[in-house]
A and B are shown apart, each in its own frame.
Chain A
Amino acid sequence: MAIHPKEHRIVLKYADEPGYTPKIESYLEHGGYDTLKAAFSKKPEDIRDEVKKSQLRGRGGAGFPAGVKWSLVDRKSGKPIYLVCNADESEPGTFKDRQIIHKDPHQLIEGMMISAYANDCAKAFIYIREEMPHGARILDEAILEAKGKGFCGDNICGSEYSCDLVVHRGAAAYICGEETGLIESLEGKRANPRIKPPYFPAVLGLYQCPTIVNNVETLCDVKHIMEMGADEFAKIGRPNNTGTRIWCVSGGVQRPGYYEVGQITLGELVNDICGGPLPGRSIKAIIPGGSSMKILKAEDRYKGKNPDGSEYDWGLEDIPLDYDGIAAAGSMSGSGGMMVLDDTVSIPAALANLMAFYSHESCGQCTPCREGSLWLKKITTRMVHGEARPGDVDLMKSVADQIAGRTICAFGFAVAWPVQSYIAKFEDEFREYEESLSNPDTDRTSIKELACNHG
């Protein structure tokens, strides 16, 4: 695959290079593990400071600064500290961690071992979703190779420091991506998320010990921060949005795929890199950061005030493609999973598709989430089947409002945000379904296919 000139590849630098393999020889030929070796000449707290200085933000969903997360770890408890890599990659629209794991697993191991040393972790885990069986095998083999060369396990790089690394496979439950659900799962239990407070992983995580959970891409970035220095890393992108990000683009564009970029606009990604919409089509809306994030509508203007008082007024394409840019447009960059909806896509049917997902994936602990997601699935499904009832749109809004903010974990927002934002931006389309689609002569084949919910 040719790399687009607008890409800025650091994490995926070698992944698609012809001849590059997941074997340790390939990695070592490309300077692999040199940064880990160098890390042992530094004090752990200096590495932590460097990561903090880089302003690296988490790539898994919430965008929390990694250095700050590390500084919250309870180091006085006397308990072991654990490092967990979140490789659950199950937010619909996201397929970046898959590339790293399958094509360059040693980069992740190096990033993890640097992070583990920096935080004095006793043991490290990679939680990988069940549906990536080859990925789990590749990681297992890579860990064995790394142990053989002293880059993982006992006395890493000849130092006093030892850290084992264990791959743990999930079993097809989305909620295992939520960090406290993940921890429960790793303890051998149902993946029911824990309530915060008191269960902040940094204090009461795995086995009630301080635990760091970071995404695959975040941990790879740590390696690059230590290699190029925090200042160089921070020069890519703007302050508070430093480094590259891997965007996963799917849906109605000519060249869907994964693209690692520095500071560009949403339009540059979708039009220049991905080739814009398919011939004869136009873009209707974009879900910017995984299916849980609020939708952005093509014709809207995105206006507001910057922190410095200046004003912005963007079209969809002008939105800066980073955490703060997408937040300023009213959504979130989330996991970097961007779904492009073109003019052939029915928004209520797309919502019906996602509500079937969320109601299937709710862990069931909180009544508003369990019952609400099921209701939303039922209402959106009957809309698609031409059986909408008067008042359904308002009912959906009310159900979503009763979920958001009233649950144990952020899954509640993930259910509510699509409903709230799709209705806010495309209310006419929903009202039309509510009113006119009960006509028995309407051909519903394509919207039923899009809802793709035979249940």
Chain B
Amino acid sequence: MNLKPETIALIEAAIPKYPEKQSAVMPLLHAIQKDIGFLSNEAAEWVANKLGIEPINVLSVITFYPFFRQHKIGKRHIRVCRTLACAMAGASKVCDKMLSEFDAELNGVSPDGEVTVEFAECLASCGSAPVMLVDDELYENLDSAKATDICNKIKAEAKNA
């Protein structure tokens, strides 16, 4: 496992926060997924070893929680809320726009490797529906025009990267 020093620092800081080591599974997985992009079997074994538990205990956590993933996704993680308040406000069209702008399929990686577009369940921002998350950023009160602006921004950032 080739982890960045800041990831190691996060991990070392997380473990003593809990009365029992196993509680640190999720913070460790968060840190590693942020660093490497997904959670391999090697990562599961590494975490298990670090916390003195069995790899199966880590794998069962990875496979339970939708946010933890065992495969790579696009560079940017786009999550469009699909639940009722957002759906009533036009989430479906927003999602379609995001997909067509990147020529992507739902849950897949776009051909340029830039994005993965997924549906999310209620993001706790229904008063400003429809909403989506692009990595850590929440975008609210969306429509097709705003979705296009966001896509353009992502594309521009990809060029400058």
* Chain A residues within 8 Å of B, Cβ to Cβ: 80, 89-95, 97-98, 123, 129-134, 164, 166, 168-174, 185-191, 207, 248-252, 256-258, 287, 291, 337, 339, 341, 345, 350, 353-354, 356-357, 360-361, 363, 448-454
Contacts and interface: CB of A to CB of B under 8 A. Distances in A.
Nearest to A92: B122
Interface footprint category on B = 35 or more
Given A169-B27, A257-B127, A93 B61 contact: no
Interface of B: 17-20, 22-27, 29-30, 51, 53, 57, 60-61, 64-68, 79, 82-93, 95, 106, 119-129, 133, 136, 138
Given A93-B84, A339-B85, A190 B61 contact: yes
A39 B127 CA distance: 36
B124 A451 contact: no
Given A90-B124, A250-B129, A123 B119 contact: no
B23 A451 contact: no
Given A171-B68, A173-B65, A291-B84, A131 B127 contact: no
Given A95-B124, A131-B124, A452-B95, 20 more contacts: A131-B79, A131-B120, A131-B133, A166-B17, A168-B23, A169-B27, A172-B65, A188-B23, A188-B25, A188-B26, A188-B57, A248-B127, A251-B88, A287-B84, A357-B84, A449-B90, A450-B88, A450-B92, A453-B82, A454-B106
Contacts of A189: 22, 25, 57, 60-61
Contacts of B84: 92-93, 251, 287, 291, 339, 350, 353-354, 357
Nearest to A190: B64
Contact of B30 (A91, A169, A187, A361): A169
A339 B129 CA distance: 12
B126 A339 contact: yes
A207 B23 CA distance: 10
A169 B10 CA distance: 14
Given A130-B67, A131-B133, A172-B66, A187 B20 contact: yes
A452 B87 contact: yes
A427 B60 CA distance: 41
Contacts of A94: 122, 124, 126
Given A190-B61, A251-B88, A291-B83, A98 B20 contact: no
B55 to A, nearest CB: 13
B25 A123 contact: no
Given A339-B85, A449-B87, A92 B121 contact: yes
